[in-house]
Amino acid sequence: MKRILLAIILILPALGFGVDFSGFVDSTFSYVERNDNSVLTNIFTSYPNYSFYSTLKLSAKGDNFSVVGRAFVDYVSLTNSFYFDEFYLNFSVFDLVSFKVGRQVLGFGVGYLWNPANSFDLPKDLFSMDKYRIGVDAIKVNFDFSKFTDVPFNISTFLLPPVWEANSKIDLSYSKVGAYSYVFINPFEFGFTAGYQRLTNDREDVAFGVFCSVDVLGSIVGVEASASRKNEVFFINQGGQITNYSDFFIQSLVTFNRRISEKSFLVFEYYYNNFGFSNEEVDRLFDTLKTNVFVLSKFYDRFTPGNLSKNNVFVGVSWEVIENLGVSLSALCNLDRLGVLLYPVVSYSISDNFDVSFEVSLNFASDKRSEISEAIYKNFYSLRFVGYF
pLDDT at site 324: 92
H/E element, 115? none
Second CATH level (architecture) for the domain 2-6+21-388: Beta Barrel (2.40)
Q: What is the pTM of this model?
A: 0.88
Q: Say how far apart CA 113 and CA 75 lie, in whole Å.
A: 29
Cα 286 to Cα 38, 95, 268, 303, distances in angstroms: 10, 55, 31, 11
- Backbone phi and psi for residue 286, each to the nearest 5 degrees, phi listed first: -65, -40
How high is the pLDDT of residue 25? Answer: 96
pLDDT at 14: 47
Phi first, then psi, for residue 9 (nearest 5°) are -60, -40
- Tens place of pLDDT per residue across the chain (389 aa): 455 445 555 555 444 457 899 999 999 999 988 877 777 766 666 677 889 999 999 999 998 999 999 999 999 989 999 989 999 999 998 889 999 999 999 989 999 989 999 989 988 766 664 556 789 999 999 999 998 998 999 999 999 998 765 556 678 889 999 999 999 999 999 999 999 999 887 789 999 999 999 999 889 999 999 999 988 788 888 887 888 877 899 999 999 999 888 778 999 999 999 999 888 888 888 888 777 777 777 887 787 778 888 999 999 999 999 989 999 999 999 999 888 999 999 999 999 999 999 999 998 887 877 888 777 778 889 999 999 99
pLDDT of residue 16: 46
Neighbouring C-beta atoms of residue 25, cutoff 10 Å: 16
Ordered by start, the domain boundaries in the chain are 2-6+21-388
